Structure 1
Amino acid sequence: MIKISIFLTRRADLNHEEFVEYWQKHTALITSLPGGEVPVRRYVQLLPTDDEIPGIRTAAYDGVAEVWVDSVADAARWFTSDTYTTTVAADEENFLDRSQTRFLYATELAIFG
């Protein structure tokens, strides 16, 4: 299993609340796609809080999407599919600065919990 963390930055003309509101609409678009087309096992949205710890720098992202897939090949098939490029990526233009989006491909090593 591969976990992909996708670090998201909103478009400059949107405030954070507008970004979050549109991201929810975007998620509804993805879940409305025909079954079997999205090879995702799990999807989680991480939304930052206003919390700060003095002396510790926080990341400047508006959110993180966590996506679990069986393999990088499944992720590649999805992110290069016609559906993704013509529907999902096109809709991302409405709320993301896609030039700032970053992907981290990872496996989990559970230490405790």
Structure 2
Amino acid sequence: MIKLSVFLTRRADLTHEEFVDYWTQQHTPMVAGLPGGEVPVRRYVQLLPTDDSIPGIDTLAYDGVAELWVDDIADAAHWFSSEPYTTTIAADEEKFLDRSRTRFLYTTEHPIF
């Protein structure tokens, strides 16, 4: 499996709280409500930053991270080029994301413990 970590930045006109509210209350139900078979995503997790910090350790300035698990990179490509994503999901992302600042990291997991 491939895990995509998608680093998200809110639109400049939104507060972090407004971003989180829209992402979790409006956008996520839209994604979850897509008909079965439309989404080749095996797992979807939202990571929301806390206010915690450790002295001397810098953190990245993102408003959230979406993690998506897919069987392979072809499924990820299918999802991001699919009609539901391009016409519905991507259009809705414009309401809360600065998509020009979205960053992707494609990984495989290698558990240690």
TM-score between both structures, scaled by the size of structure 1: 0.98
* CA distance in 1: counterparts of 2:83 and 2:3, whole angstroms: 22
SS at match of 2:46: strand
**Correspondence 1:91 to 2:92:** yes
% identity of equivalent residues: 76
Deviating beyond 2 angstroms after TM superposition, the runs of 4 or more aligned structure 1 residues are none
Unaligned ranges ≥5, structure 1: none
* CA distance in 2: counterparts of 1:79 and 1:7, whole angstroms: 15
* CA distance in 2: counterparts of 1:50 and 1:100, whole angstroms: 21
Partner of 1:20: 20
* CA distance in 2: counterparts of 1:107 and 1:82, whole angstroms: 27
For residues 34-113 of structure 1, the aligned pairs below 5 Å read 34-112=35-113
Deviation at 1:79, TM superposition (A): 0.2
TM-score between both structures, scaled by the size of structure 2: 0.98
Unaligned ranges ≥5, structure 2: none
What one-letter code is carried by the residue in structure 2 that aligns with 1:96?
L
* CA distance in 2: counterparts of 1:66 and 1:83, whole angstroms: 19
Deviations along 1:2-42, whole A, 9 cap, x unmatched? 00000000000000110000001101000111111001111
What one-letter code is carried by the residue in structure 2 that aligns with 1:2?
I
SS at match of 1:85: helix
Deviation at 1:91, TM superposition (A): 0.1
* CA distance in 2: counterparts of 1:72 and 1:56, whole angstroms: 33
* CA distance in 1: counterparts of 2:10 and 2:38, whole angstroms: 26
Q: Kindly tell me the number of residue pairs found equivalent between the two proteins.
A: 112
SS at match of 1:14: coil
* CA distance in 1: counterparts of 2:64 and 2:32, whole angstroms: 19
CA RMSD, aligned part only? 0.5
